[in-house]
Structure 1
Amino acid sequence: MSHSRPTNASLSELHLTGIPGLQHLHHWISIPFCIMYLVTLAGNSTLLCMIKADPSLHQPMFLFLSMLAVIDVVMSTSITPKMLDIFWFRSTSISLDACLTQMYFVHAFSVMESGVLVAMAFDRYVAICNPLRYLSLLTSPVVAAIGLASLLRALVFMSPLTFQIHHQPLCSPAVVDHSYCEHMAVLKLACKDAASSNTYSLSVSTYVVSFDSLLIALSYGLILRAVFSLSSLQARKKAFSTCGSQLCIMALFYIPGLLSMYMERYHQDLPRYIQVLLADLYLLIPPALNPLIYGIRMKKIRDGVRRVIFRRRPIAGGVGPGPQGTALGLVKTKSVP
């Protein structure tokens, strides 16, 4: 007589494997992962403190940057401590409720980050291509509405995923072949056919990445068109450097995340650790680099750091968004078409 496999009524605890096939390297892998997490905490926390402490930074571009910093800290914190626990102490167990909570935070905040990246690209477009209307277009209520829209979109798209898992019977062995509770990895424990849930997850991810990437590309395309009209070669170089670095960090966020999901669904013959590493890195690298790419390189942030640390008077001639200059700090407003 065959024995029925236990479902989620008895699966109160799951086990994460870490990075399958590379368990013998977990201690070494934990070093860069830990460094990236500490950099994420330090960089984003510093950025938030600086923006809060300096009234001159209470502008739309820095409000969006604050949103991004909070999202990055929450998203990294939702997975990294548990991953390090697995790498260092081989503590693979996680309760089903904690797993579902982690899954929700990871996927919802990923969608929120994508929405904020779109908002920041639009902010750059307005600041550079229409600087005289910058503060009239991006008022505080508009910025708050954009942030709320990003949050609501994440809730609407990601809540069904957690709901489906919560009501999906799960079978033993309760081993999730991943370093965190990724949706499609957990669904492999489903006792019933979970094709519809997998299709929904893949469809939503593809839509978010494709739609948001298109809007970001459009914004930066218009920005570069404005930059090409500049007479100063130095200004062009600075523009290309700034836009290029921002686009690279966006690519690091979008491409590995989407690739990992498609590999999970369609390329299961590839080594499992490739898919898991891609899924890990898109959640760890961008949050660590965002404070540097979007924050430290901005002149107004650097000036704000000096004012707070040395308690100096505001530095005259600083370039920022709005009528005083472009958001990238590249050229004066009068130079922007």
Structure 2
Amino acid sequence: MAYHGNRSTFHPATFFLIGIPGLEDVHMWISLPFCSVYLLALLGNATILLVIKAEQTLREPIFYFLAILSTIDLALSTTSVPRMLGIFRFDAHEINFGACVTQMFLIHAFTGMEAEVLVAMAFDRYVAICNPLHYTNILTSRVLVGITMCIVIRPVLFTLPIIYLVCRLPFCQAHIIAHSYCEHMRIKYLGIQLTRVFAKLSCGNIRVNAIYGFFVVSLFLLNLVLIVISYVYILCAIFCLPSHDARLKALSTCGSHVGVICVFYIPSVFSFLTHRFGHNIPHYIHILVANLYLVIPPSLNPIIYGVRTKWIRE
């Protein structure tokens, strides 16, 4: 327990993660699909990384970004799913305060990195289709290094304040989190709906936490806007092509990326809509969606690229 003036600021030694409230009796069965999807994510992303490393022809920037995406997916799923499985399978509900804050930071940081990679991949497709003759001159090794630094550093910088915002809060005697992993606030990129999971445990003023949450949401909204703008230009360029076969080929090169974007953002839209309009939807549905949001994209991304990308498929 830490003291601040005459007021005590209590950080519990451990938090108790409920898992999925209302479905405690079927946690054992829920663990089976989650474990299967996690193994699929590990296998799929590791395969993508090995193929890109082994095959010398896969040295274009798009495959470089794909390797980064697979690395982030491996890290994101490993940060969240083992803890979920521990709760569902072994009733390991307690988590150290420091481990909880660390997990919260990593989940938000890796999710932010994935959003940044999708923007970088949209830029890559924009250059490849709208300015193909200067593709190699624009996406040089130096530019790729700069983009990679932005992918990593920007989400980390915007996530670091979460540590301070959480550690400054007085938690009093509250230590039960109605979730299966630690979060600052459930921030969905396509909405401003904030469902307090971690910060609500505080008995102090969480207004600053909420304001910062809105700020982070606006940044991810900006990422989505940039992706949409890129594809407006891409579609304009595609439909200006004289040949029908050329248009189909150009659309095909964007298919994998569009699929990954949908897998990443559709759960956010669904979660926002259920929070905004689905007032009668049980709370466990919201928690299930939040859990699936961390396991489905890492497992489907390698499948989408493996099936849709000719060079990887071969």
Superposed pair shares fold, TM > 0.5: yes
1:331 is matched with none
Offset at 1:169?
Answer: 1.6
Pair member with larger Rg: 1
Looking at structure 2, the residues matched to 208 and 293 of structure 1 have their Cα atoms a distance apart, in angstroms, of 26
Offset at 1:259?
Answer: 6.1
Local SS of the residue matching 1:221: helix
Q: Aligned ranges for residues 47-86 of structure 1 at < 5 Å?
A: 47-86=48-87
* Letter paired with 2:74: V
Normalization by structure 1: what TM-score? Answer: 0.80
Q: Aligned ranges for residues 139-288 of structure 1 at < 5 Å?
A: 139-184=140-185, 185-205=197-217, 207-237=218-248, 239-240=250-251, 243=254, 246-257=257-268, 260=271, 270-288=281-299
Structure 1 186/264 Cα, relative in aligned 2: closer, same or farther at 3 Å?
Answer: farther
Instruction: Tell me whether 1:19 sits opposite 2:31 in the alignment.
Output: no
Offset at 1:101?
Answer: 0.6
Looking at structure 2, the residues matched to 238 and 246 of structure 1 have their Cα atoms a distance apart, in angstroms, of 14
2:34 is matched with 33
* Contact 2:263–2:297, Cα closer than 8 Å, also in 1: yes
Structure 1 6/78 Cα, relative in aligned 2: closer, same or farther at 3 Å?
Answer: farther
* Contact 1:111–1:208, Cα closer than 8 Å, also in 2: no
1:90 is matched with 91
Deviates most, 113-122 or 131-140: 131-140
* Letter paired with 1:35: S
* Contact 1:36–1:285, Cα closer than 8 Å, also in 2: yes
Structure 1 152/280 Cα, relative in aligned 2: closer, same or farther at 3 Å?
Answer: same
Local SS of the residue matching 1:71: helix
Local SS of the residue matching 1:55: coil
* Contact 2:259–2:304, Cα closer than 8 Å, also in 1: no
Looking at structure 2, the residues matched to 181 and 167 of structure 1 have their Cα atoms a distance apart, in angstroms, of 17
Structure 2 portions without partners, runs of 5+:
1-6, 186-196
* Letter paired with 2:65: F
* Contact 1:220–1:243, Cα closer than 8 Å, also in 2: no
Structure 1, residues 163-218: CA drift from partner, whole Å, max 9, x if none?
Answer: 1112212132311111110112111111202122023123312x133111111111
Would you say how many aligned residue pairs link Structure 1 and Structure 2? Answer: 298
Looking at structure 2, the residues matched to 27 and 43 of structure 1 have their Cα atoms a distance apart, in angstroms, of 25
Looking at structure 1, the residues matched to 253 and 297 of structure 2 have their Cα atoms a distance apart, in angstroms, of 16
Structure 1 portions without partners, runs of 5+:
304-337
Normalization by structure 2: what TM-score? Answer: 0.86
RMSD: 2.6
Percent identity of paired positions between Structure 1 and Structure 2: 46
Looking at structure 2, the residues matched to 208 and 274 of structure 1 have their Cα atoms a distance apart, in angstroms, of 27
Looking at structure 2, the residues matched to 254 and 161 of structure 1 have their Cα atoms a distance apart, in angstroms, of 23
Structure 1, residues 56-82: CA drift from partner, whole Å, max 9, x if none?
Answer: 212211111111111111011000001
* Contact 2:125–2:254, Cα closer than 8 Å, also in 1: no
Q: Aligned ranges for residues 308-319 of structure 1 at < 5 Å?
A: none
Offset at 1:141?
Answer: 1.3
2:10 is matched with 8
Structure 1 93/123 Cα, relative in aligned 2: closer, same or farther at 3 Å?
Answer: same
* Contact 1:170–1:190, Cα closer than 8 Å, also in 2: yes
Offset at 1:162?
Answer: 1.6
